[in-house]
Structure 1
Amino acid sequence: MPLPLYLLALAVFAMGTSEFMLAGLLPDIASDLDVTVGTAGALTSAFAIGMIVGAPLVAALARNWPRRSSLLWFLLAFAAAHAVGAVTTSFPVLFTTRVVAALANAGFLAVALTAAATLVPPDKKGRALAVLLSGTTVATIAGVPGGSVLGTFLGWRATFWAVAALCLPAALGILKGVPARQAKEGATGGPALRAELAQLTRPRLILVMLLGALVNAATFGSFTFLAPVVTDTAGLDEWWISVVLVLFGTGAFVGVTVAGRLSDRRPGPVVAAGGPLLLIGWPALAVLAHRPVALCVLVFVQGALSFALGGTLITRVLYEAAGAPAMAGSYATAALNVGAAVGPLVAATTLGTAVGHLGPLWASGLLVAVALLIAFPFRTVVVAAGRGAEVLQ
């Protein structure tokens, strides 16, 4: 894999740290800003909503901009939003900074996904995506738990400052490592914007975007509310939150790495094995969460399965959107973040029920079940290797 791809992954690490870090900071943010934990959880959805809206919008605006300049400015805007978030005492202002940061993240990721696909041979899109997503999974291993520890000792605001600081070396890496030259797809014979947007009418593309969104909703629905499961259900000390987040992130890294080597040519085994196991895993975690050893093992397994299956489905989005070379990355980003927005909202509705803190885990199982029921009749489309099947054309 080319060096510029790893430099993009460094920036994705900083952004992934921000996107996931709230899982360990929600109780402190809620207490400091005088809101409920459920209300504070809306910050995760705010970020995801900004990503959903921003991915296609910003990608359309930036489709003919120099790629390196686009990536650099998006990253600097992301850092500035975190600096503002670190000093505000208003929940609405913090909410707004999350949306702004998400818009910048969306633009960055949409351009980065498209750039990644052009940096590798056509049949290596899955591996390129795995390298980018490794920035996110490493964030869950190191960045998010590190942010949780930093928040525990210095307060949640210190974590926001740390994310802003992380953007600086990433920006330098982009400036030095990403080529300045860029073929302007929309201006040099590539599809017009209208033609690229028309790809969204293709049933196959909509199918894999929907499935990716559902799996990601299940992932974010439980991940966002893991902290109270660790401390209240399992009865562990607060510092164990960081340990559990590391385990989830380690599993995610393993899952996305393995799936990255299979999703181009052999996505079938990942979907066929990972889907049912993921479905079983969320209820199993809900039932056994009061046992610390079982909790730790299952969190690792669910992290691996979630990112293996989710990463494979998002790779399918890139293949199905091959007719939209400038916008394909934004479609993949939107699919990821529709799930990231919906998941915590669905999970939050279960917190006031009889199942309490375990509600999000049961909700995640339900979301995966819906995804598998939708996927089964169209399984030849989902598992087509490196291309689309003709079933829904």
Structure 2
Amino acid sequence: MLAVLALGTFAVGTDGFVLAGLLPAIAADLDVPVAVAGQLVTLFAVTYAISAPVVAVVTARWNRRAVLLGAQLVFAAGMLAQAMGESMTVVAVGRAVAAVGASAYAPTASSVASALAPPERRGRALATVLGGLTLATVLGVPLGVLLSGWGSWRTTLLVVTALGVVAALGTVVVPPVRLPVADPRSRLTVLRRPGVLTTLLTTMMTMAGAFTVYTYLSELLSPVAAGGTLGVLLFVYGAAGVAGNTAAGRLTDRHGARAVVVVALASLSVLLLAWPAARLHLVAATALLLLWGALGWMFSAPQMHRLIETVPDAAPVALGWSSSATYAGTALGSLLGGVVLDVAGAAWLGPVGAAACALALGLVVLPRRRAARAAQSSPAASLASASRT
């Protein structure tokens, strides 16, 4: 069953990630600048972030299997419109429709996986479902780039459309799960619970940092890679991401989610700073993509686990907000990256992305330190210290 959910996230993830390798071809075909074509990523992400909580309310009382099926069919319809579109407007509309389907699918898949897994294996269950996203970077993205070379970027999107249809058919094996229903007011109330907004903001800033760079990876690597070489480099990044995501699930169950998140964010903050130099040398770029994939993809599963630990009684609602935060960050990153590309050039994408990840790290580390200092200065702590002396 988890494999079916992973297949669905693979389809969604392939669409989300594959544009990084297709932007030059899309821009040329639709006669727009690369930075403008990159805003298709922004559009998808903004639509996803807005529609996720709305779709969650509308489908709250639906059987989860029905939600998964409908979501994939809407996603496939949007993908077909993108593949057949002859203008930027039609492609953009198709992208928005696909985003609505994706916004219903991904949080539902995560909620079902979390609900069906025992607590001690929840981290691995989430990592399995999220593994569809990382597998999309391993197979979907580089194969998409290769397909666009053999046919066109439209060929790639048609293949993604077919994946969505297959994922829809696969939902028949998912148990007819019903999760607790939260009314719209309680969905907003979750945001006022301690730690929730900080966790969501951490997710948003991390994705902003990553997608400032990833969206325009073809431009960033243009000094050393294009075509087939770019596909190989994306495969390296994705393969490392699968390893990192798999390790993250086990490390989260063993050492706790916060520790894994801190390692991932600290690594991202340092690694993205190296892009101005690494982009000029193929070996350095390959090594950096390997490390970025392995350590960066350690973030998602433990971050979701942190959110579930924060509000265990409202996990489906919280995961819906997490998806919105993820794609709000993706939108911010792709928009910011487009501005950086136009104003300062590709070399500055890495440092700007690193700054966003460093802010995310601060959101994880600083509240814990303030809480520790407050505990030490509390009357109870003072009495305990006096009793020891």
Please indicate, yes or no, whether the TM-score normalized by the shorter chain is above 0.5. yes
Q: Percent identity?
A: 34
Give the deviation of 1:271 after TM superposition. Answer: 3.2
CA RMSD of aligned residues (A): 1.8
1:248 maps to a residue whose letter is Y
Which of 309, 330, 333 is residue 340 of structure 1 equivalent to? Answer: 330
Paired residue secondary structure (1:111): helix
Structure 1 pair 369–297 and aligned structure 2 pair: CA distance change class (3 A): same
Paired residue secondary structure (2:312): coil
2:219 maps to a residue whose letter is P
> In structure 1, what is the equivalent of residue 351 of structure 2?
362
Give the deviation of 1:193 after TM superposition. Answer: 4.0
Deviations 1:186-245 (A, max 9, x none): 2xxxx54422331111240111111111111111221111112222x22x3422111111
Give the deviation of 1:300 after TM superposition. Answer: 1.3
Deviations 1:134-184 (A, max 9, x none): 000000000111111101120111111101111222222111x1123x335
Give the deviation of 1:86 after TM superposition. Answer: 1.1
Moved more, 120-129 or 22-31: 120-129
1:183 maps to a residue whose letter is R
Moved more, 263-272 or 219-228: 263-272
Give the deviation of 1:380 after TM superposition. Answer: 6.7
Give the paired residue count: 370
Which of 163, 167, 190 is residue 160 of structure 2 equivalent to? Answer: 163
Checking the alignment, whether the CA contact within 8 Å between 1:209 and 1:313 is kept in structure 2 is: no
> In structure 1, what is the equivalent of residue 197 of structure 2?
206
Deviations 1:318-377 (A, max 9, x none): 3223232442321121121111111111111111234x1122212111111212233321
2:329 maps to a residue whose letter is G
Q: Distance in 2 between matches of 1:375 and 1:168?
A: 39
TM-score (norm 2): 0.90
Q: Distance in 2 between matches of 1:79 and 1:272?
A: 36
Checking the alignment, whether the CA contact within 8 Å between 2:269 and 2:357 is kept in structure 1 is: yes
Larger radius of gyration: 2
> Structure 2 stretches of 5 or more lacking a match?
372-389
> Structure 1 stretches of 5 or more lacking a match?
383-393
TM-score (norm 1): 0.89
Give the deviation of 1:87 after TM superposition. Answer: 1.1
> In structure 2, what is the equivalent of residue 29 of structure 1?
26
> In structure 2, what is the equivalent of residue 376 of structure 1?
365
Moved more, 139-148 or 284-293: 284-293
Which of 65, 87, 101 is residue 90 of structure 1 equivalent to? Answer: 87
> What pairs up with 1:156-195 in 2 under 5 angstroms?
156-175=153-172, 177-180=173-176, 182-183=177-178, 185-186=180-181, 191-195=182-186
> What pairs up with 1:1-393 in 2 under 5 angstroms?
4-175=1-172, 177-180=173-176, 182-183=177-178, 185-186=180-181, 191-231=182-222, 233-234=223-224, 236-264=225-253, 265-354=255-344, 356-379=345-368
Checking the alignment, whether the CA contact within 8 Å between 2:145 and 2:227 is kept in structure 1 is: no
2:279 maps to a residue whose letter is A
Q: Distance in 2 between matches of 1:230 and 1:171?
A: 35
Q: Which runs of 4+ in 1 moved over 4 A?
A: none
Paired residue secondary structure (2:40): helix
Paired residue secondary structure (1:129): helix
Deviations 1:56-102 (A, max 9, x none): 11111111101111111110111111111111111012112111111
Q: Distance in 2 between matches of 1:369 and 1:317?
A: 20
Checking the alignment, whether the CA contact within 8 Å between 1:255 and 1:305 is kept in structure 2 is: yes
> In structure 2, what is the equivalent of residue 389 of structure 1?
none
1:205 maps to a residue whose letter is V
Q: Distance in 2 between matches of 1:295 and 1:149?
A: 20
Moved more, 300-309 or 142-151: 300-309
Q: Distance in 2 between matches of 1:381 and 1:145?
A: 44
Structure 1 pair 360–169 and aligned structure 2 pair: CA distance change class (3 A): same
Structure 1 pair 352–202 and aligned structure 2 pair: CA distance change class (3 A): same
Q: Distance in 2 between matches of 1:367 and 1:357?
A: 17
Q: Distance in 2 between matches of 1:333 and 1:271?
A: 17
